[in-house]
């Protein structure tokens, strides 16, 4: 089974979300956290560190798992963590990015399970 992971990046009670380009077959022009499929031999932690760096140029250190599950043919992990750096989006995969409060994020067209992720973050008073 394939592995996929994403990083939940928070700042000042807001979450960083990236808008997917429309070439993606799953959820084109929808918003979500930076992440993606693991390369062969990668752990979930290595996967999320690489994907966050590739998609938005931030250095991400996973600290805990907010949510995990199975979607189609993949195990997925949603990591909370610490981050540093300056955002620079990868234009091949990402159309736009922004920081959103709970009220703003919940109204967006969200990809995958990110509506549940946003609700969980709100319940934990992280956004």
Q: What is the pLDDT of residues 26-72, one digit of tens each?
A: 787 899 999 999 999 999 999 999 999 999 999 999 999 999 999 88
pLDDT of residue 73: 82
pLDDT of residue 41: 94
Report residue 63: phi and psi, to 5°: -115, -30
Is residue 83 helix, strand or coil?
strand
C-beta separation of 67 from 116 below 8 A:
yes
pTM, two decimal places: 0.92
Rounded Cα distance, 28 and 20, in Å: 6
25 or 87: which carries more pLDDT confidence?
A: 87
Q: Percent of the chain at pLDDT above 90?
A: 84
- Strand segments, DSSP code E, in 54-104 are 59-71, 74-84, 94-100
Beta bridge partners of 17: 98
């Amino acid at each position: 089974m394939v592995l996929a992971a994403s990083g939940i990046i928070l700042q000042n009670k807001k979450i960083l979300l990236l808008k997917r380009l429309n070439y993606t077959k799953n959820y084109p022009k929808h918003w979500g956290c930076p992440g993606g499929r693991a390369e062969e031999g990668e752990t979930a932690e290595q996967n999320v560190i690489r994907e966050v760096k590739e998609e938005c140029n931030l250095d991400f250190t996973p600290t805990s798992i907010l949510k995990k599950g199975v979607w189609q043919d993949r195990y997925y992990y949603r990591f909370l963590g610490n981050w540093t750096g300056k955002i620079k989006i990868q234009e091949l995969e990402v159309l736009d990015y922004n920081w959103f409060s709970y009220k703003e994020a919940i109204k967006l067209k969200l990809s995958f399970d990110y509506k549940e992720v946003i609700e969980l973050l709100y319940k934990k008073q992280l956004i």
